[in-house]
Structure 1
Amino acid sequence: MDGVRMHRLGKRLIDLSREVTTSAGGAELTPAEIAVIEDVLKHPGSAVSEIKVRTGFAQSHVSDSVARLRERGLIETPPDTADRRRTRVRLSEPARQAVLARAERSADEVIAHVVEDHVRAERVTALLDELAELLL
């Protein structure tokens, strides 16, 4: 497999995984909001400036996303105990539980929809499981 094809496959798998984890039963999130939530899940208690560095978004874009997510109750921004002028960003407990529940969703339905042939969809799922075993 050449690098371009592997890159295309990786992007397609990311798109499918996002469909599994961000659809059904929840409000739509922008790509920036998803990136902020993913970053805060991995790095709870981060400052906006730290999220900016890790996501690559402009600080104003991260700040706007944080404000929208806070208004929706998905994140909390308590003051930094060491420097009360700064805030720290963390997922709210209901959002954290929702993220964890979505992460456990099976991709079978999404794969079956994309592949359409039941037997081939099962093969794709088995191959993905095997690939995960080998590479993760």
Structure 2
Amino acid sequence: MTSPMPMTPVELFLLGRTLMKIGEDALPAPEAGAAPHPGSVRPVLIALSDIVAHPDSAIGEIARRTGLPQSQVSTAVARLKETGSIETTQDPTDRRRLLVRPAADPSPRVAEVRAAGIEECLSKVLDPTDPRAVEEVTAALATLARHVTPATLARLNRRPEPDAR
């Protein structure tokens, strides 16, 4: 068996973009009659991931950790609060700030999104003549997700420590 060719940064970037688009398509559509939200779901999911990892954070802290503009975090928080995904409280040390945390009782929409699978969406984009493709790609993505998490991005931007000579 031959080794796969090394992946270039451009190929990795394009793979990430493709996977993001597939993930967006795999998300269940909101209920009929639900008010549509303008813009991408991307900042909402990024903000929610950070909120789950860092409950009781202020919007500015979420923006700093995620690299999203504060306006996008504020919009994402409003959308997440509307869907019952998060709760906000006033910061007891600074009444002007809101602290954000995952909702104690997730809404039906949150449960629906958490229960959604990716297999149906993958079957639309993968080779229909390969019966094992969905299973193989799903397993590969599970391995990748175990090793490359949103928390690993913090290491990407970390400055190397100076040489202690």
- 1:106 maps to 117
1:102 partner SS: helix
Distance 1:39 1:131 in 2: 21
Structure with the bigger percentage of helix: 1
Task: Tell me if 1:19 matches 2:25.
Answer: yes
Give the number of aligned pairs: 133
Tell me, yes or no, if the aligned pair for 1:35 and 1:55 is still in contact at 8 Å.
yes
Q: TM-score, normalised by structure 1?
A: 0.72
User: Structure 1 13/77 Cα, relative in aligned 2: closer, same or farther at 3 Å?
Assistant: same
Match of 2:139, SS state, is helix
Query: How far does the alpha carbon of each residue in 1:36-94 deviate from its partner, in whole angstroms, 9 at most, with x for none?
Result: 22221222211011111122222233223323433443322111234333220122222
Instruction: Note the residue ranges of structure 2 that are not aligned, 5 or more in a row.
Output: 1-5, 148-165
Separation in 1, partners of 2:119, 2:75: 35
Tell me the equivalent position of 1:120: 130
Q: Separation in 2 of the partners of 1:121 and 1:10?
A: 24
For residues 130 and 115 of structure 1, do their structure 2 counterparts lie closer, same or farther at Cα, with a shift above 3 Å needed? closer
Identity %: 33
Distance 1:17 1:61, change over 3 A: closer
Counterparts of residues 2-41 of structure 1 (less than 5 Å): 2-3=7-8, 4-20=10-26, 22-25=27-30, 30=40, 31-41=42-52
Return 5+ residue gaps in structure 1 as ranges.
none
Cα distance in 1 between the residues matched to 2:141 and 2:44: 29
SS of the residue aligned with 2:130? helix
